Amino acid sequence: MKILVAMSGGVDSSVAAALLREEGHDVIGATMQLLPSDGHGSHAEIDAGQVAHRLGIPYYLLDFRDIFTREVIADFCREYSLGRTPNPCITCNRYIKFGALWERARELGADYIATGHHARVEQDAATGRYLLKKGVDIQKDQSYFLCQLTREQLSHTLFPVGNLTKEKVRQMAGELELSFADKPESHEICFIPDDDYAEFLNSHMPQAARPGPILDELGNVLGEHRGIISYTIGQRQGLGIAAAEPLYVTAIEPEQNAVVVGTKERTYGRELIASNVNWIATDRPVHPIRVKAKVRYRHPEAEAFVNTMDDGSVFVRFDEPQMAITPGQAIVFYDGDTVLGGGIISRQGSQR
């Protein structure tokens, strides 16, 4: 079986390639070039190339800069200009890593693509349907970021480290004598230098960095913001407002170029509408279903009802109020360790 492994230069994808090689597969290593190069090669490219050489597998540097700019960076900027807080990793997974990369893999004769994600793909014996499941290491599980993958994409995807703990992955990297076996994980977005969102967005769309009013929920002006691109729902720091009690961002109103703030209690809500819903483990439900759902990657799962509407979007009502339900973020539905599906939050519902 010929498998193309997306190699980021990190521990997980390197071990994924090694595992597949040990199993006797015909493995190809590839790094996706997503950002402008200085001509010397990025650390990821250098590390991935060295691992491929050590494993004795062919290695390719694939240029996806144009499609990455068009599908991921442009979407990221557009969403922020609309007062939303997008998750670009989800967009990248759908269109780049498991979309454009698969097309290139097929050109190279590959039967599957593999990545270092902590998740699992299983085929349901009864239905033949491909399922997305959580990684064994729950603390490192990345199924949330894969919620927009289709069943067709999952049918030719492998996650070799999904059955391993992160500790075991690092141990195996050490046994392979990888110099970066203990390299700390990066939690930054790859195209945001120094994790400075505001500076990046200001340079790409300065019109969205216009100052405007900070309002309370009655419409009273409390101060001035630095541009809606610098704020997200639930944010407390950086408001620059003196108040008797801490204030948090409760809403962003792009039409008014306004940021709305309130008490922490006002950041909680029970309901939301989500669009672009991708159902994986089930067809689109005809009747309301009971699920566990999470509204951000680091949020805990919570009990909820999901009701599908005529246009394919869903109405979600949680049993208990959730903090910082944020338009632009993904909501992912789970049944145990199985991902039922996921969509993008389009608006909040009622407060508690």
Domain boundaries, the chain: 2-175, 210-262, 268-348
Q: Work out the percent of the chain whose per-residue pLDDT is above 90.
A: 82
User: What is the pLDDT confidence band of residue 337, given thresholds at 50, 70 and 90?
Assistant: very high
Tell which CATH architecture fits domain 268-348: Beta Barrel (2.40)
End-to-end CA distance of the chain: 53
Q: 2-175 and 268-348: same fold? A: no
Check pLDDT > 60 for residue 199: yes
Distance (Å, rounded) from C-alpha 23 to C-alpha 2?
12
Specify whether the CB–CB gap between 34 and 101 falls below 8 A.
no
Place of tokens 């922020």: 80
The phi-psi region of residue 53 (left if phi > 0; otherwise alpha if psi is between -120 and 50; otherwise beta) is: alpha
Higher pLDDT, 351 or 230: 230
Token readout for 214 is: 């900070």
Check pLDDT > 60 for residue 352: no
Check pLDDT > 50 for residue 351: no
Distance (Å, rounded) from C-alpha 264 to C-alpha 262?
7
Q: Which CATH superfamily is domain 210-262 in?
A: Adenine nucleotide alpha hydrolases-like domains (2.30.30.280)
- Known catalytic residue at 92: yes
pLDDT in tens, 157-174: 999 999 999 999 999 999
Catalytic residue among 77, 89, 92, 147: 92
Would you say the pTM of this structure is higher than 0.75?
yes
Using alpha carbons, select from 318, 328, 326, 303 the residue that is nearest to residue 352: 318
- Known catalytic residue at 147: no
Using alpha carbons, select from 270, 214, 265, 210 the residue that is nearest to residue 238: 214
Q: List, in order, residues 6 or more apart from 270 with CB less than 8 Å away.
A: 317, 318, 320, 321, 322, 349, 350, 351, 352
Tell which CATH architecture fits domain 2-175: 3-Layer(aba) Sandwich (3.40)
